[in-house]
Amino acid sequence: MFAGLVAGVAGVVGATIVGDSTSDTKRTGNEDVAHLAATAAEKRRLASESRGVGDVAKARRMTDAARRAAKSSDECFGWQRQHELRKALDLSRAQASLSANAARTRASSAASASSSSAKTASDDVVVKQPHHPSRSACTIEAHSCGTPDIESGCSSCGYFCHENCRSELCPMTPCHMCLSFDVETHVESRLCVMIQTQCQGCHGCGRIGCWTGAPSCHAKCTRHAHVCGEGKGRGCESCDHLCHASNSDRMCPYFERARGDLPWTANSQQLLDTQSGTEGSVPHMTQVSWNFTNTARTELIVDGIRYRKGIGNPGSIANGERNNCLIDSLRQFLGLVCDRRKVREDLQREFGQHYSADDRAFVSHSSYLDVDSHWQAILLSLWRHSDPRPSSSLNLADYCVVALNGNSRSHGVVLGDPHARERLVIVNWGDVHFDPCLLA
pLDDT at 412: 78
- The pLDDT value given to residue 17: 41
- pLDDT of residue 310 exceeding 60, the answer is yes
Radius of gyration for the alpha carbons in the chain, expressed in angstroms and rounded: 37
Is residue 215 reached through a cis peptide bond, with omega within 30 degrees of 0 on the bond before it?
no
pLDDT: which is higher, 15 or 100: 100
On whether the pTM is more than 0.75, the answer is no
pLDDT greater than 70 at residue 351? yes
Nearest-CA neighbor of 432 among 170, 205, 200?
205
d(CA 155, CA 162): 9
Closest CA to 406 of 175, 95, 133, 161: 175
- pLDDT reading at 352 higher than 80: yes
Q: 303 — alpha (psi -120 to 50), left (phi > 0) or beta?
A: left
Q: How far apart are CA 387 and CA 212, in angstroms?
A: 36
Range in 102-106, 318-322, 339-343 with the lowest mean pLDDT: 102-106
Any idea what DSSP says for residue 347? H
Question: Tens of pLDDT along 360-374?
Answer: 889 998 888 999 899
| CA-angle at 53, arms to 52 and 54, nearest 5° | 110
How far apart, in Å, are the Cα atoms of 105 and each of 111, 183, 317? 10, 10, 12
Residue pair 206/223 in contact by the 8 Å Cβ criterion: no
52-87 pLDDT per residue, tens: 666 767 777 777 776 666 555 444 445 555 566 666
* Selected residue with higher pLDDT from 91 and 284: 91
Q: Tell me what the pLDDT averaged over the chain comes to.
A: 76
- Give pLDDT tens digits for 237-259: 888 888 888 888 878 877 766 65
Segment among 108-117, 155-164, 307-316, 374-383 with least mean pLDDT: 108-117
pLDDT of 127 above 70:
no
Asked whether residue 215 carries a pLDDT value surpassing 80, the answer given is yes
* Residue 421 CA: distances (Å) to CA of 170, 337, 375, 377, 405: 36, 22, 16, 19, 23
Q: Report pLDDT for 140.
A: 83
Q: What's the rounded mean pLDDT across residues 111-123? A: 53
Report how far residue 52's alpha carbon sits from residue 264's, in angstroms, rounded to the nearest whole number. Answer: 68
Q: What is the pLDDT of residue 379?
A: 94
> What is the per-residue pLDDT across 274-286, written as a single tens digit (0 to 9) for each?
555 555 554 444 5
CA 167 – CA 176 distance, rounded (Å) = 13
Percent of the chain predicted with pLDDT > 70: 69
pLDDT at 360: 83
Pairing of strands 299-302, 290-292: antiparallel
Domains and CATH numbers, the chain: 87-93+136-214 (no CATH), 221-255 (no CATH), 285-439 (3.90.70)
At residue 34, the pLDDT reads: 79
The pLDDT score that the predictor gives to residue 1 is 42
pLDDT at 266 over 80: no
Q: How far apart are CA 98 and CA 77, in angstroms?
A: 32
Digit-coded pLDDT (tens) for 413-431: 888 888 888 999 999 988 7
| 140-196 per-position pLDDT tens digit | 888 888 888 877 888 888 888 888 888 888 888 888 888 887 888 888 888 889 889
Nearest to 161, CA basis, from 175, 145, 177: 145
Taking residues 88-101, report their average pLDDT: 69
CB 176 within 8 A of CB 433: yes
Least confident of 118-132, 286-300, 389-403: 118-132
* Cβ neighbours of residue 291 closer than 8 Å, sequence gap 6 or more: 300, 301, 409
Q: What is the pLDDT of residue 68?
A: 66
Looking at residue 21, what is its pLDDT?
45
User: Residue 128 pLDDT more than 80?
Assistant: no
